[in-house]
Every structure is written in structure tokens, then in C-alpha cells.
Homo-oligomer: A and B are copies of this chain.
Amino acid sequence: MNVGVIGSTGYAGQQLVWLLNNHKEVNISFLASHSYSDNIYSSIYKNYRDFMQDICINIHEVYESLSSVDIVFIALPHGKSMEITKKLLSKGVKVIDLGADFRLKSLKMYEQWYELSHKKKDLLTESIYGLPELHKDSIRNAKIVANPGCYPTASILALAPLIKNNLIDISTIVIDAKSGVSGAGRALNLGTLFCECNESVKAYKVGEHRHTPEIEQELSLLANKEITLLFTPHLIPMNRGILATCYSRATKKLSSDDLHDIYREFYFEDYFIRIGEDIPETKWVRGSNFCDIGMRFDKRSGNIVIVSAIDNLIKGAAGQALQNMNIMCGFDEWEGLNFPSMIP
């Protein structure tokens, strides 16, 4: 397997490089970077000293480096991968896009939430939403995989079994998500300076975050009905991890044990989903591709609370991309991803 990575020097990109380097079937053909082309990769990420002596190439050099490349991963900001994807496909290369450009099936939704016109609409129908726990079969034969966002991964995995089993009033869903700072990327922003986010918590983009329509799209598909929900992200002073606390009204009485059984059954074949009796903590999944899910039925209020925990850069980005690659290539789903969190 020969692969290339475009956008290899962002936080998600470099996490992908770590995982690819750890994958026994993969050879990295090129690492491309907009910000650091012509730099040695290990001079940017010094953890790669003695591991990755490659020089980052630019996007033009990418197009000349595609012979014998099977799959290209793109980890660019939204709006940047449409044309690149088109070109790559035209050269017979499969694409796994970690960005947002091919996730929303509705052009209107894309243009409304991202305030951009989509330049390659035709590809929207072709792309597969790469959440393996829901779309494994389609991923297998996909040419473009739209790798899910970090918040949607945690949120959809938390809520899918409830919706599929008609256990909740779908008009009552509230997702309160907490993310580490790496989710904001490596761009220079006042809000992600150490002293600005350390020792503080905030909610942001309340009801307005771009991951909202992505979550709604996937849950609506499962419900076979239009779902509108409220999604509130929060920024937490830690490097990695997302905890999604999901609230909704139960349509019937259940015990926490019942819920437990339902979840175990729903995710019976899914290696990376771990259903527990405990409410999860992000530390138990940090640095791994696992999604831990815990649940409570609150008899007093009639709410079901589902808590899911992922590493935003792995199951929420690069790990899931690799999981998708494994599925597309017929490898074991967990190849290169089969390790637990390293703590503390």
C-alpha cells in the first residue's frame, strides 16, 4: 500500500503520519504541506527525528508523485479539498478526506453552514460518510471517503442506538460536548494561546457550530425523519479528547441495564466501541482509536443520558481515517490501531 498525505503538518495530519508509520502494510509515498513545503518533516515535528526524513512537498509536486499511489489522505481546512480531490480521482487515486467538504450530502446545507459555494457538487453523491460503525459496507467500495468530524463521531456514536431503536423523542436531543484544544488546530489564534485557554472553560458557537448539520444528517438517516437538535461545544484546557454528554427524553421507561444491553447489541461487531457500566472519561481513550460509551436512564426526570469519549485526533480524525483505509483495503479494521490509551 502506497499512500500520500496532503496537509501532513496540521495536528490531524501529523497524527495520521504517526499511525501510518505504525501500520505494517503501509508505505508513505509523500508528505505534502502548504505551510512547510521544502522543510524536512522531522524539523517541524521533532519527535520524528530518525523516523521521517522526508521533505514536505507542495501540492504541485503531489500531482507528479501519484504513480503507484493507492490512497491519498487530505487533512486541509474546509473548502480546500474539493478540487484536489477531483484531480486525484481523475488519476485513479482513492481519497480519504479528513476535512468537511464531502460530508454533507445536501449542497444547500453545505453552502449555508460553511458560507462557501461548493465547486465539485457532483462528487457529493459519490462520497461516503466514513463512520465505519454505520457505513462499513459502503466504505468498502468507496472512492471518496468523507471522514467524519470529531464532534459528530462522538455524538453520532452516542445517539445512534437510541434513534435506531426508537427510544427517544427525537425533538428533545441536546448534545453538550467538551473538547481539548487540539481540536482548534495549529493555526495562530488568540483563543488558543496557552494563557487564554488554560485554567478556563467556555462554551462557544452555541447552536451554531458547523458540525451540527453533519450530526443531524446522520441521525436523520437513522430515524428516517428530519432531526433538528441542539449542539453546544465547549473548550477544555487539555490537549486531546472529546466528551459528548447527550441528553434526550425517553419514550418509555428503561433501566440503565436495558440501555446497556441495547448498546452492546447495536455495536456487537464494532471493535472500537466499548460499552461500559461506568461513565467514560477521556483519559481511557486518549491516544487510541476507541470510543467508550456509558449511559444512564434518569428515572427522576425521564431523560436518557449517553456519554461518549473519544480522542479527537484519532477516532475523531486520523485513526478513523486509517480505520476507513483498512476497510477499503480489506485489512483487519484494527490493523495499526490495536493499542489502548497510554496513561497518565
Contacts and interface: CB of A to CB of B under 8 A. Distances in A.
A190 B186 contact: yes
A234 B243 contact: yes
A240 B288 CA distance: 18
A207 interface: yes
Contacts of A243: 201-203, 234
A133 interface: no
Nearest to A243: B201
A181 interface: yes
B298 A207 contact: yes
Nearest to A176: B176
B237 A237 contact: yes
Which of A190, A201, A296: most chain B Cβ within 10 A?
A201
Contacts of A188: 188-190, 193
B343 A47 contact: yes
Nearest to A298: B207
A198 B194 contact: yes
A194 B51 CA distance: 25
B238 A201 contact: yes
Interface residues of A, number: 82
A344 interface: yes
A238 B282 contact: no
A278 interface: yes
Contact of A245 (B198, B229, B232): B232
Interface in A212-265: 228-230, 232, 234, 236-241, 243, 245, 247, 249
B190 A192 contact: no
Nearest to A188: B188
A283 interface: yes
A192 B195 contact: yes
Nearest to A278: B46
A234 B239 contact: no
A45 interface: yes
Interface string A39-57: 0000001111111000000
Interface stretch (A14-22, A74-82, A85-93): A14-22
Given A190-B188, A237-B238, A301-B207, A47 B288 contact: yes
19 contacts: A11-B195, A14-B343, A18-B342, A47-B340, A51-B340, A174-B247, A174-B303, A178-B234, A192-B195, A194-B198, A194-B239, A196-B283, A200-B286, A201-B281, A207-B298, A229-B301, A230-B298, A230-B303, A342-B342
